A = this chain, B = another copy of it.
Amino acid sequence: MDTPFIFNHIEPSHPNAAGFTLGLDIDQLRGHMLVTRRKLKVGQHLYRAGQPFTALYLVHAGFLKTCELSEDGREQVTGFRMRGDLLGAESIGLAAYSCDAVALDDCEIWELPYPPVLGACLHIPELQARLTAALAEEIRRDRSWMLAIGTLSAEHRVATFLLDVAARHAKLGFSPSHFILRMGRADIASFLALKHETVSRALSHLEEQGYISVLRREVKLLNIPLLRAYVGQSCTVH
């Protein structure tokens, strides 16, 4: 029996797996810049909108959300980041970060000071290509969520979200079918452009239908292919 309760604390097979978003050995980067380590506790901000933009970050362990804010106080969760994910890239080219990054679990983060990253790109042409590709990947991820939000019903969105979590867990070597959500219902709701009650109901209903089992934040996907089929139906059915 697996132990999803300590996911973030299991060491995956490759010791430098946390650098895979950039596809590079961290040690190679250390030759070009001072890579420091930062620890965050639940609820702490890695950075806030408006703070001077000084670095990119790689998640080594833990879990974070990014939040977009408007002048008039509206707030939107725009994504969740886990081991291996890059943070701060959206603020490249600005003097200050453009959004908030908040720890949803205790985190260990590698800080890559930014001007040095640019410099390193000149010496490691590979790095430049990787960084650009990582940015493009981020655009594609955001757009595929726009597609989901613009075209799927509440329940389909939630199912899609669970399948996405599963896929990301699988890529890190964790169980795709049994995991603990690190974010609250309200964060999922904001991300999917819903209300937390709606997310709660959707989860309950997916459970009733036998697709999943939910107990607070512990989720089991009982039949992933069937769940995929359920999401795929969304268009052909109506």
Contact = CB atoms under 8 A, between A and B. Distances in A.
A26 interface: no
Given A122-B125, A150-B193, A190-B150, A68 B139 contact: no
Contacts of A70: 147, 151, 235
A42 interface: no
Interface in A125-152: 125, 128-129, 131-140, 142-147, 149-152
Interface in A56-72: 68-72
A109 interface: no
A175 interface: no
B236 A72 contact: yes
A136 B72 contact: no
Contacts of A137: 93
A182 B206 CA distance: 42
Nearest to A191: B150
Interface stretch (A12-20, A33-41, A74-82): A74-82
Interface string A182-224: 0000000010010000000000000000000000000000000
B146 A146 contact: yes
Given A135-B135, A145-B146, 20 more contacts: A68-B147, A72-B233, A74-B147, A76-B143, A76-B146, A76-B150, A78-B147, A90-B143, A93-B136, A94-B136, A98-B140, A118-B129, A132-B132, A135-B136, A138-B139, A139-B142, A142-B142, A146-B146, A149-B193, A150-B193
